[in-house]
Structure 1
Amino acid sequence: MASLAFGLVAALCWGIHDICVRYVSQRGGILPALTTVLAIGTIVMAPAAIFMGDWGAMSSKAMALSVASGLAFTLAYLGLYKAFEIGPVRLVAPIIGAYPVLSVGWAAMAGQEVGADQWLAVGAVIAGVAIVGMLTSESASQGNKRAAILWAVLGGASFAATFALGQAAAHAGSEGPAILVTRIVAVALAVVMMLASGGIRWPARGALPLLGMMGVLDCIALGIVIAAASMARPEFASVAASTFGMITVILAWAILRERMTAGQWGGVLLTFSAIGYLAL
């Protein structure tokens, strides 16, 4: 199914992005890096969206949905980074990775038929991601675990809202403009948060090439999940995209030579087996 393939591409992009976050966050902080990444991704996609997008199709409803999607996307990233900052990974990753339940639930409430077997497959995807997260060795907490849980809930719920609102905006209007408005709102809100936290801070110049790559990856990931609105079962794109945390762990094993246990590989197998079933 094309929507699942799109979601897996998004997960791979965000997985690579998160590997890079480990590097840049130690050289200037998360918020300046996040703002730069969002801004670069927006600049990259702006020409295509402006000159090739069907702006005439962007009704007031589509614009409102796009703005709401941008607000949700910023909250999703904020919740994600704050949750992982406090940790531990094994606590917050399964919570964030459970957001497909909301995505599929909203699709069901909107009239999309979801069979019992599909619900089981979605549950298996979430369980596989949870297994990988829970068996990740980073166990030390840097703060209040209740706060970590709350940030993780915010991140997960906001990711589900981002994709649902973004796909609804694309369906009500045009994909390119909907994505661009979503991103512009996200950049504006990130700048406001940075100002509120002590003023504008720029990342180190040496980090800009890496941040540029991260911006492109983030742009591709968000764009293709929202673009799945025109496909059959668009909610399954967000299901597949939820594996980005697990893919980060796999990439850390492949690139950074971090160890993966047999249990983690079992979680990977369960997740992709379930995704394969949904694609049938």
Structure 2
Amino acid sequence: MTIIFGLLSAFSYGLADFVGAIAAKKIRALAVTAISFSFGLGIALVLSQIVGAEYSAQTIQTGIWAGICSAVAISCLYAALALGPISIASPLTAVISAMIPVIFDVAAGQALSGLATLAVVLVLVAVVLVGFVPGEKVKLPSPLALLYSLGAGLGFAGIFVFLDATAKDSGLAPLVVMRAVGLALLLLGLSYLAIKSKVRFIEKAAFSKTTLPLILLAGTGDVLGNVFFLIATREGALAIAAILTSLYPIGTILLAWVVLKERIAASQTIGIVLGLAACALLALG
């Protein structure tokens, strides 16, 4: 079950990144994130009524920390992608967000089989290959872009670790708290930008017929990715769930290929194959 929900989490995150990136070309990225977080919080609240939610002190505390990590992760991610190049910033973030939970889980006593260890290595290689698009002129990231990528990776890793630390009987309470805290911090950021730069809090274009559906779909994909990850960690090891979730760039690349007719480079194809092979190894292990 961990493999299934881990892959569902990866696809959901990949979908959210794909449609969110398209929306972010029309309005500010922070505005996209704030609206999608608001919609995602609504979905989380509805699902919590169906699945259940137990708001213990420990759950609220870990949810708050996860919310802080989510705000840091999103802010750093968009800053890193803006500085570029995306082909390096995105996989670097994914690798860091996967490796920290693996190290954390192994240090806590989680044993990985030989096949699982091999799968972890294959996934890390796959993520790098999927994010790499070869070209004649390869732009290297600036030290600031690398710093933002590191911050984003650590932020997402924090989300994974804190969500895994929540009680199994807490239902979706951690996710609701995380969403509420993350949204509050994002709104504070938007308020600061609006006051400092004297720009609109959220652009009117955000509510157009072409942009709003993309933002809402991004919010849906993001919150479902969190839900699936939460289930994956409760069904199995944090390390395995985090590694599988880090395959989200594959979903983004495949959607770009199908919807936007973008070319998939040979290195990306190899990365996708390695990712699938790693999933098979995890299933066997």
TM-score, length-scaled by structure 2 = 0.89
1:270 shift after superposition:
0.8
Aligned counterpart, 1:192: 188
- Sort the Cα spacing of 1:139 and 1:216 in 2 relative to 1 into closer, same or farther, 3 A: farther
Aligned counterpart, 2:178: 182
Query: Aligned pair 1:73/2:74, yes or no?
Result: no
Amino acid at match of 1:104: V
Contact conserved, 2:256 with 2:262, CA < 8 A, in 1? yes
Contact conserved, 2:91 with 2:249, CA < 8 A, in 1? no
Structure 2 SS opposite 1:135 = coil
Q: Aligned equivalents of 2:173 and 2:91: distance in 1? A: 33
Q: Which runs of 5+ in 1 are unaligned?
A: none
Contact conserved, 2:16 with 2:221, CA < 8 A, in 1? yes
CA RMSD of aligned residues (A): 2.1
1:77 shift after superposition:
1.5
The number of aligned residues is 275
Q: Determine which of 244, 268, 276 is the counterpart of 2:272.
A: 268
Q: Aligned equivalents of 2:68 and 2:136: distance in 1? A: 30
Q: Which runs of 5+ in 2 are unaligned?
A: 196-200
Amino acid at match of 1:115: S
Aligned counterpart, 2:13: 14
Query: Aligned pair 1:253/2:257, yes or no?
Result: yes
Contact conserved, 1:87 with 1:140, CA < 8 A, in 2? no
1:175 shift after superposition:
2.4
Q: Aligned equivalents of 2:270 and 2:63: distance in 1? A: 38
Q: Aligned equivalents of 1:137 and 1:255: distance in 2? A: 22
Identity of aligned residues (%): 25
1:170 shift after superposition:
3.9
TM-score, length-scaled by structure 1 = 0.90
- Sort the Cα spacing of 1:144 and 1:269 in 2 relative to 1 into closer, same or farther, 3 A: closer
1:138 shift after superposition:
11
Amino acid at match of 2:83: I
- Sort the Cα spacing of 1:41 and 1:271 in 2 relative to 1 into closer, same or farther, 3 A: same
- Sort the Cα spacing of 1:119 and 1:139 in 2 relative to 1 into closer, same or farther, 3 A: farther
Contact conserved, 1:132 with 1:267, CA < 8 A, in 2? yes
Matches within 5 A, 1:49-128: 49-50=48-49, 53-55=52-54, 58-98=55-95, 99-128=97-126
Q: Determine which of 146, 149, 155 is the counterpart of 1:149.
A: 146
Amino acid at match of 1:133: G
1:87-136 CA distance string (max 9 Å, x none): 11232123112121111111112221123442231121011110121226
